[in-house]
Every structure is written in structure tokens, then in C-alpha cells.
């Protein structure tokens, strides 16, 4: 039996610590930290189940960086993990630090930097992205310093209840998407005409090469949509990967939306594959259904993606904290497209 729920040890403060890759003996310590910081309701089961955490690290679907003392006490965790539509694009996140080891000790920053350093040694890691949240600017500063560039804004991504323990949010919390390439893949992408200008801005300073073309093709007759939704009930969020839109795209989206409303989803994100020459038609279809721009997603499908989103209530714009001019411009463009979506 997994006894993680009964593991209640505490850790002596003031010990030295170092950061290294996850070891199986770290698992219970990581689980303890997540339960102590986030309570019993942490939505991602991996980090509250020591056996699952060990298994996923062995498979490298998660690459955990762990801060531990010479005694082996775990005082912090952060990870690279799969969450994009392609397994070679990893997210950096799942961070937690023991309460006795916070307050200017630099553990979290060191764990993030460790993960980004070791990422280069794993051949399956093509690109890494972060989701710096907007209820404060700390994580936005961190990804900027680490060489990431903001490319998109996820509006109302997380519910306020996810931040109850730290009391750091009033209303739903937005997050930026910031990217850094590890292994380049120059390729052709097709830009929807409706978002051409903003996409040119979002692709500024890309650390890879792209052949940009206009999306002018029509959907080939008989093409069937490849749509893969994933619902996060705890957050009221659906993330829908459209690997290929077909002639049935409009009807498939209508049916999917009905299902999502029945599940009380409040935020729908749709990822369109920009390697598809007729992706512009799909963007127009979503635009007519009240979706608005999120931004560019480099290497999301291994090829790039376009984020479009629909929020079923008024977004919590007023609580979005920003770091830097680029963040401000992305928010301006995304909000302008949202305003367009509610007027049409």
C-alpha cells in the first residue's frame, strides 16, 4: 500500500542543500512538500504519489530537479514534463519549496536553472516552455532572465482556489507562455491572414528558423479532422489539440463545445497546427464562434501551433500583473481581440 498520505515528518531548518536530478529515495520527500504547500487537493496526481513520480522520472516523461540536504531531506522540487501536443516539447514547472527553506535562499531559482542546464543533455528535449503566472511578476522575471521569450497569453487559466493557501489571487489567474529552443528544426509554417501582423510581432527574436507563408489553401475534400481534447475538471479548463482540421471541423467543434459546457468548463483553449496549409480557414471558423487570439506556440506539435481561446465569463483582466513592455503589448493585443469577439 502507498503510505504517502500518512507521511508527516518535518525537516530541521538551516541545513545546507544542493540540487540534483531525482533519485527514487527522494519520492516521499517530494510528496510531503506538495501536500504541505498545496494541501490534499493538488490536482496533478504524479506529485502526490511517490510510486507514480518514480515511474515517470524513470521514463523521462518527467525530469525532476530536487533540492536536498546532506541528510537526504528533500526541501524543494521543480521539473520538466510533457504537456504540449508533442512529447519533445517540455514544460518547466511543478515547483514547490519547503516552508522552512523559503525567503531569499534561492532554492527555486537554482532548481529551475538546474533543469534548464540538464535539459541540454537529454536528446528527447527539443524545446522547453514555461507558464509564468500573472498574479505576481516573480516567475515572469525568472523566465526572462533564463532566456525565454513570451509568445502567448493564456487568459483565466487557473482558478483562484489553486492559490488559497498562499492567498495570492482574487479571481482566475492568467499565465504567459514563454519558449526556449534546445534543438532547432527549421520548417515552414502557414500564418492565418487575420492574425498576420500580431504573429510577426510574436515571432520576434525566435531562436530558430521558419519559412513564413500565408495560409491560403482550402481544406482538401474528404479530409477528416484529428482533434484531441483534454479536460482539467479541477480548473474548469479544456485544452484541445487540432493536429489536422478537416471538412468536418466546424461540426466537430460545435459538438465538442456542447460536451464541454455539460462538464462546466469555463475556459476552452484550442491549439491549431501551423504546419497545415489550410489552417487559416480553421482560425476564421473559431473567430466566428467567439474565440480570440492567445499567441504563437513554437514546436508545440514539433511544428508550431496557434493558440485560440474562449472564456465563458468575463475574464479577470484587472488582476493581470505584467513585467516588461513585451508582456504589456501581448496583453493589449489579446484583450483587443477578445473585445472584438464579444462585439461580433
Angle ∠(13,23,133) on CA atoms, nearest 5: 65
> Is 173 within 8 Å of 140 (Cβ atoms)?
no
Cα(first)–Cα(last) distance of the chain, in Å? 56
> Is 20 within 8 Å of 69 (Cβ atoms)?
no
Do 4-181 and 187-343 show the same overall fold? yes
* CA 334 to chain centroid: 17
> Who contacts 69 (Cβ-Cβ below 8 Å, separation ≥6)?
11, 15, 16, 17, 75
Which fold is adopted by the domain 187-343?
A: Aminopeptidase (3.40.630)
Cell match 533564463: residue?
Answer: 146
- At 8 the pLDDT is 41
Compute the distance between CA of residue 172 and CA of residue 316 in angstroms, rounded to an integer. Answer: 6
* CA 279 to chain centroid: 22
> Is 66 within 8 Å of 23 (Cβ atoms)?
yes
**267-273 and 237-244 beta bridge pairing:** parallel
- The residue ranges of every structural domain in the chain are 4-181, 187-343
The H helix count followed by the E strand count for the chain is 8, 14
Point out which residues pair with 270 in neighbouring strands. Answer: 240, 308
- At 162 the pLDDT is 62
Compute the distance between CA of residue 99 and CA of residue 254 in angstroms, rounded to an integer. Answer: 46
- At 165 the pLDDT is 58
291 vs 87, 176, 257, 268, CA distance in Å? 26, 18, 12, 9
Q: Helix, strand, coil shares of the chain as percentages rounded to 5?
A: 35, 30, 35
User: Each residue's pLDDT tens digit in the chain (344 positions)?
Assistant: 344 443 344 788 999 999 999 999 999 999 999 988 777 667 788 999 999 999 999 999 999 999 999 999 999 999 999 999 999 999 999 999 998 898 878 999 999 999 999 999 999 999 999 999 999 999 999 999 999 999 999 999 988 776 555 555 578 999 999 999 999 999 999 999 999 999 999 999 999 999 999 999 999 999 999 999 999 998 999 999 999 999 999 999 999 999 999 999 999 999 999 999 999 999 999 999 999 999 999 999 999 999 999 999 999 999 999 999 999 999 999 999 999 999 87
SS (H, E, C) 88-120: CEEEEEEEEECHHHCCCCCHHHHHHHHHHHHHC
Compute the distance between CA of residue 294 and CA of residue 256 in angstroms, rounded to an integer. Answer: 20
Say which CATH superfamily domain 4-181 falls into: Gcn5-related N-acetyltransferase (GNAT) (3.40.630.30)
Q: Is 2 strand, coil or helix? A: coil
Compute the distance between CA of residue 111 and CA of residue 344 in angstroms, rounded to an integer. Answer: 46
Compute the distance between CA of residue 188 and CA of residue 276 in angstroms, rounded to an integer. Answer: 9
Amino acid at each position: 500500500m502507498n503510505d504517502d498520505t500518512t507521511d508527516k515528518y518535518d525537516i530541521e531548518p538551516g541545513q545546507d542543500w544542493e540540487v540534483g536530478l531525482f533519485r527514487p529515495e527522494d519520492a516521499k520527500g517530494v510528496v510531503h512538500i506538495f501536500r504541505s504547500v498545496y494541501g490534499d487537493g493538488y490536482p496533478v496526481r504524479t506529485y502526490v504519489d511517490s510510486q507514480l513520480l518514480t515511474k515517470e522520472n524513470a521514463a523521462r516523461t518527467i525530469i525532476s530537479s530536487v533540492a536536498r540536504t546532506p541528510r537526504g531531506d528533500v526541501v524543494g522540487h521543480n521539473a520538466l514534463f510533457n504537456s504540449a501536443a508533442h512529447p519533445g516539447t517540455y514544460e518547466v514547472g511543478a515547483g514547490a519549496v519547503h516552508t522552512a527553506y523559503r525567503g531569499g535562499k534561492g532554492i527555486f531559482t537554482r532548481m529551475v536553472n538546474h533543469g534548464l542546464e540538464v535539459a541540454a543533455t537529454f536528446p528527447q528535449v527539443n524545446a522547453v516552455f514555461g507558464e509564468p503566472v500573472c498574479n505576481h511578476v516573480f516567475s515572469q522575471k525568472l523566465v526572462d532572465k533564463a532566456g525565454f521569450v513570451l509568445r502567448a497569453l493564456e487568459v483565466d487559466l487557473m482558478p483562484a482556489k489553486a492559490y488559497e493557501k498562499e492567498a495570492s489571487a482574487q479571481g482566475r489567474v492568467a499565465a504567459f507562455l514563454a519558449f526556449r529552443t534546445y534543438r532547432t528544426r527549421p520548417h515552414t509554417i502557414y500564418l492565418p491572414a487575420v492574425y498576420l501582423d500580431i504573429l510577426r510581432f510574436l515571432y520576434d527574436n525566435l531562436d530558430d528558423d521558419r519559412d513564413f507563408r500565408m495560409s491560403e489553401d482550402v481544406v482538401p475534400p474528404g479530409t477528416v479532422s484529428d482533434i484531441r481534447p483534454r479536460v482539467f475538471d479541477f480548473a474548469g479548463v479544456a485544452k484541445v489539440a487540432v493536429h489536422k482540421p478537416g471538412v468536418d471541423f466546424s461540426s466537430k467543434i460545435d459538438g465538442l463545445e456542447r460536451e464541454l459546457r455539460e462538464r462546466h468548463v469555463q475556459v476552452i483553449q484550442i491549439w491549431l497546427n501551423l504546419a497545415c496549409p489550410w489552417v487559416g480557414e480553421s482560425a476564421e471558423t473559431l473567430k466566428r464562434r467567439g474565440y480570440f487570439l492567445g499567441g504563437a506556440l513554437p514546436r508545440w506539435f514539433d511544428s508550431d501551433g496557434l493558440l485560440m481561446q474562449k472564456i465563458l465569463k468575463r475574464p479577470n483582466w484587472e488582476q493581470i500583473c505584467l513585467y516588461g513592455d513585451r508582456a504589456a503589448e501581448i496583453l493589449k493585443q489579446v484583450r483587443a481581440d477578445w473585445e472584438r469577439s464579444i462585439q461580433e
